[in-house]
Amino acid sequence: MPSDSAVRAFSKIIEWAESLPKQKARFTVENNPTINKENNDYFVDYEITISPENINALPITIWLSGDAIGFYIGNFALAARLANSTVSSRTAGLACAGTEPVTSIDVDTILCICDSVSNARLEIVGVEIFGKLKGLHTKIDIGNNYSSVYTNGLSLVFLGLLSRLGISKKVQIPCYKW
């Protein structure tokens, strides 16, 4: 049974999602998502996926687990397509940004993140090695001059070294409003 805080967070997130124009985005809710079959570290009470109608815009998935909130945005396959790059099948499903529901993100912060993603107030820099996207560095505006920063895949420090050797290059991933 979900905690009271998960139920309150769920209500606020659904209220935000329902406020979106129907022609801009749609959302789905899973009460027992597949992540629960693959993961033993926590139990996800609700998985809310908000998908833009614009196929070039990034979707967001939110996990509510007890008193914790996690999320992920898009994936490497979408980022590679937007950057006219390629990606290996091993990394195609990795998120552009996000965190598991074991951190101290509160419902107001996740709503700021949702608003930033839907309005393309984020910056994604990718790094290619021999034409394949290997790392993403994502900076999300969360308001009041604060940003949340995520790095997935190979680290930017390592990739910077490879860049100096002429092996890798940075690519800007375009972000689109919903």
Q: Which tens digits make up the pLDDT trace of 26-57?
A: 999 998 787 777 777 788 899 999 999 999 99
| 132: nearest Cα among 91, 97, 93, 162 | 91
Is residue 116 classed as helix, strand or coil in its secondary structure? helix
Tell me the C-alpha distance between 49 and 26, whole Å: 8
Is the confidence at residue 74, as pLDDT, over 80? yes
- Quickly state the pLDDT bin for 140 (edges 50, 70, 90): very high
Provide the mean pLDDT of the chain: 91
Contact 134, 128 (CB under 8 A): yes
Is 0.85 surpassed by the pTM of this model? yes
Is the confidence at residue 160, as pLDDT, over 80? no
pLDDT (0 to 100) of residue 33: 80
